Amino acid sequence: MANHILTFDPADVLFFKDGRPMEGSSSGHGAAWPNPHVLNAALHAALWRSKEDFANLHPHRPGRSGSVHSHDRSDNGRFFGSFVSAGPFPISQSGAWLFPRPTDAQAAASHLATLLPFKPTLDARSSLHQGLIPVVNTLPPSKAKAEPWWDHEAFDAYLCDSKTSLPEGHYCEDASIHSAEHTVGIGTDPETGTQDGDRIYSSSYLRLKPNCKLGLIASCIDKMGGDLIIQLFPNNGTRTTILVGGQQRCGSVEREEFTHIPLPIGKTGDFSISTSGRHLVKWILLTPAIWPAMPAGVSKRGTIRNRHSGGWLPSWIDEATLQVLLQIVSPEERRRRRSLNYAQKGYATNENATAIQARLVAATVPKPQIITGWSLADYNEFGDATSGGAKSTHLAVPAGSIYYFECADAASAATLANALNWHGTSPGTAIQNRRSTLMGEKGFGLGVCGTWKFHPCGAP
């Protein structure tokens, strides 16, 4: 899969509204940093606007298990089904890509982990999920706040557990990247185009600092049309204008060539070992992730589906035992399963697969992000809306959240890391793992692995 780096440079302020109202004392919260699906939608819309410029596009038909089949391709085919993206990440004035600070690093201008899992010396009751241990601060109380953004060098030092201090320039405040601008607006009568005499609202807008940009990774290889990202952004010295976010704010996009994707590279070995011989792996989210609740039952293809409450707990972790459910599956077995799915047949999920011997022991998860959206309506021949409206609301685990695992041995730790690192087994040239149950193709669920140690005051 050919990935491309895209840099978005807004022409003016941007408006990224969440689901909260814009009336009364609320300011609309339009100055929030955009979630991955917002820029994904903007690029998807740009592809559709240029649809007539692409030759021999392949419409992806709905699955055979759906209500429409291949003979309905002309009416029900979907274009740009191969489009995937990741980001946006801030690009600083110096051109450095920035990433969300991990939640266990609470000291200002430092990449050291100050929150560590604490193993109680005695059996103690807590409100945590059964089997989890608390994560405890190693620093005294302080009102100083850690910077929310790190550059690549700071993140690499954090993942390697380096004790060497870095200059303060590697840690960035929000104010060095963007600021919020507030305005007051009025409701408009659509018939007269004047103030409706009733509504008034306030809103806030996101303004990037000079030379700061938004960085994305995108890919869209069409079966017949080729690489559509290259065609949409030709990279011939010109910049392509696209519309982004609410109020259709515009900006220009430039495609850049690269040898490695500019995201932190996770550890794949040399993890810390506990006194009990367990290898200690932690997974840090670079982008939000969504794990919805799933009822028990049988899929349309006959595969057994277990119940899972979702929320903060990844759907690939057993809710009762906290064991990792991800498996090692050979390429041949994957092809066999795809063939069974195509034939609307189920299969046993543990058949021809090897379990990863790893267990979740702790987690640091801030309050959830609310993911909302709105679809424009499609109209039939009589002018009636046939679709559109508010999309489902999801609670996403925010970027920077951390999950701590104990693995049985070095091989299990390496296998878990290859399954969780966004780059998988690649040297950082491809995005292989998107561990969000929903909207992974839009950039949710990217993470990297590091190592961790128990709190020194806990049990040995």
Dump pLDDT digits (tens) for 231-284.
999 876 677 888 888 778 888 899 987 888 999 999 999 999 998 899 999 999
At 62 the pLDDT is: 56
pLDDT tens-place string over residues 316-362: 999 999 999 988 887 887 888 778 777 777 777 777 778 899 999 99
d(CA 437, CA 449): 19
Rounded to whole angstroms, how far apart are CA atoms 213 and 38? 15
Q: Which residue has the tokens 């274009």?
A: 79
Cα three-residue angle 364-155-39, rounded to 5 degrees? 80
Given this model, what pLDDT does residue 67 score?
47
| Weakly modelled stretches of the chain, pLDDT under 50 | 64-73
Of the candidates 418, 289, 447, 366, the one whose C-alpha atom is nearest the C-alpha of residue 104 is 366
Question: Which pLDDT value is given to residue 361?
Answer: 95
Angle at 418 (CA atoms; ends 417, 422), nearest 5 degrees: 95
Alpha carbons 232 and 46: distance in angstroms, whole number = 8
The structure tokens 């890391």 sit at: 417
**What is the predicted pLDDT for the residue at 90?**
95
CA 440, CA 289: separation in Å to the nearest integer?
8
Residues in contact with 382: Cβ distance below 8 Å, sequence separation at least 6, in sequence order: none
Q: Where are the domains of the chain?
A: 1-92+178-258, 103-150+159-172+261-460
> Coil, helix or strand for 70?
helix
Question: What does the block give as tokens for 141?
Answer: 């109380």
Q: CB-based contacts of 352: which residues, under 8 Å, 6+ apart?
A: 329, 330, 333, 336
Residue 164's contacts (CB-CB under 8 Å, 6 or more residues apart) are 157
DSSP state of 397: B
- Predicted structure pTM score: 0.89
Q: How many CB atoms neighbour CB 330 within 10 A?
A: 11
What own/partner pairs with CB < 8 Å and gap ≥ 24 does 198-201 have?
199/23, 200/23, 201/22, 201/23, 201/28
Give the full edge-to-edge strand order of the sheet including 4-10: 84-91, 213-219, 4-10, 249-256, 240-244
pLDDT reported for residue 168 = 84
Query: Which ranges of 26-151 would DSSP assign to H, the alpha helix?
Result: 36-49, 73-76
**What are the Cα distances from residue 393, in Å, to 20, 55, 84, 275?**
12, 36, 21, 44
And the tokens for 416? Answer: 């878990």
Is residue 133 within 8 Å of 278, Cβ to Cβ? no
Which stretch of DSSP H or E encloses residue 252? strand 249-256
